[in-house]
Amino acid sequence: MHGSTRNHLFLLLSLVGAGCNKSPGPPAPSPSAPPGPVRDATVGPRKGIDGMLKAPARRVNDPERIHFLVFGDSRAGHSRCDPPRKHRKYCRVQYTPTASGAAEDCALVSKAPALLMGEVAARLHPSPSTPGKIRAQFCLFTGDLVYRGSCARDWEWARQVFLAKVPPSSVFPILGNHDSWQKRGESPAFLLFHRAFPQLKLASPGPSALPHYYAFRIGRSLFVNLCTGGYPSPGTPADFERADRTWLCERAPFATQMRWMDQVLAHGVTQGVKHVFVQYHKPSFSCSRHPPLNIEQDPLTRLRPFKKRHPNVNVVALSGHNHTTSVYLSGGVLVLVVGGGGAPQHFLHGPKACHKDKPDQPPELFWKGGVRTARYNFFDFRVSGDKLSIQEHCLTRRGNKLTVQTGSRISASGRITHTPGACNLSPPP
């Protein structure tokens, strides 16, 4: 057979083979675009997902009865690595109408982090000196434990007032932008974070990247912990606002973490999960000075479809960054901003405080457009079978003394029951 004949025959066979194939599908999405949600039926057990963090489950005797605490943004109002003369400007209390009241509130700001962290530690590790405390099994932390992650003295302060007082392997945090804040000439921020939380490691390599993002399951409760990232190099206020809206995790971009979360959620369904708790630092919705995450980089775009497919699963999204308390209900997902852990509270008032540039932002349910007041708190979560209850505990003033008392209750459906007179921090007359 001549060469030209062979070439014509090869071309004919190629055309026939192409005609037998199906037409090509749509082009693959850009690598930078987030992948579509993974359908539950398409995902089976994957190597590494079963190898999630094991330490939390060992703290629970009955996986159907789980008691844990949630709080965040407990950093001090300044870094201990900065000169003392710089500290004054960080006490800007915008909700106080008088100068004398502002001085009183500035004193409160300096005490709030240690007071709340001491109370959380007492509930994680009751002792003869703290009678009547009901032991919680572990604690979630929504980020910003220290003012600057590269300041070793900030981490020493956190160790003295909190980490040294809690049982080992009882706190499971996510990185806040302050925790990952790196200043030139100081220690590596991530190294100091790793040393503070040595329990954040897997026995074998898995698909997550601890401590940037990781997951664990206790019975029918699934905990997913994500990293939204910090800030870029110093820039203009506009640069920082763009950074607030952007997923800037140093280890894994938004698309990578969402693909991983889809797989973890889908595998959780095969294990019969009834409760899903997802924590990430930058909030999906905002009624505060910090803007919300861009809709293109919002985990709720994955959690809402999951909730729709599994309406009987309680799905709770936890975040911080805003130094206040906010509650939303979005597509059946309960969204809590738990940023009242002690950092200075700079927030806006009234209906105009909520950002209107995010089209899917629902009404805020905790304050309902009313005047916000200083509210330093943490939350007590209890899982009992299929039921979930959430109880606030907050700082209150009794005479000239600050103490912690029971505050509002939040249901899984977003219903809030306020306790009259609780969380009162008004100066004494």
Where residue 180 sits, what CATH number does that domain have?
A: 3.60.21.10
Q: Is residue 382 within a helix (H) or strand (E), and if so which, with residue range?
A: strand 377-384
**Mean pLDDT (the chain, rounded):** 82
Closest CA to 33 of 213, 358, 275, 296: 296
* Domain limits for position 302: 38-417
**21: in domain:** no
List pLDDT tens digits, range 177-226: 999 999 999 999 988 998 899 888 765 555 556 778 999 999 999 999 99
Percent of residues, the chain, with pLDDT higher than 70: 76
Query: What's the pTM?
Result: 0.86
Residue 11 lies in a domain: no
Determine, yes or no, domain membership for 17: no
3-state class (DSSP) for residue 126:
coil
Q: Which residues contact 26 (CB under 8 A, 6 or more apart)?
A: none
Domain membership flag for residue 377? yes
Eight-class DSSP state of 288:
S
- Rg over CA atoms, the chain: 24
Number of domains, the chain: 1
| Residue 69 maps to a domain | yes
Q: Is residue 250 part of a domain?
A: yes
pLDDT of res. 286 = 93
Which residues make beta-bridge pairs with 71?
Answer: 141
pLDDT of residue 47: 53
Query: Does any domain span residue 349?
Result: yes
Residue 27 forms part of a structural domain: no
H or E element at residue 336 = strand 333-338
pLDDT tens over the chain, length 429 residues: 444 444 444 433 343 343 333 333 433 433 344 556 666 655 544 555 656 788 899 999 999 999 999 999 999 888 999 886 544 444 554 444 444 445 556 677 778 899 999 999 999 987 666 666 789 999 999 999 999 999 999 999 999 999 999 998 899 999 999 999 999 999 999 889 988 998 887 655 555 567 789 999 999 999 999 999 987 666 677 888 888 999 999 888 999 999 999 999 999 999 999 999 999 999 999 988 889 999 999 999 999 999 999 999 999 999 999 999 999 999 999 999 999 999 888 777 666 788 888 888 999 999 998 878 888 999 999 999 999 999 999 999 887 788 999 999 999 999 999 988 888 887 665
pLDDT in tens, 50-91: 567 888 999 999 999 999 999 999 998 889 998 865 444 445
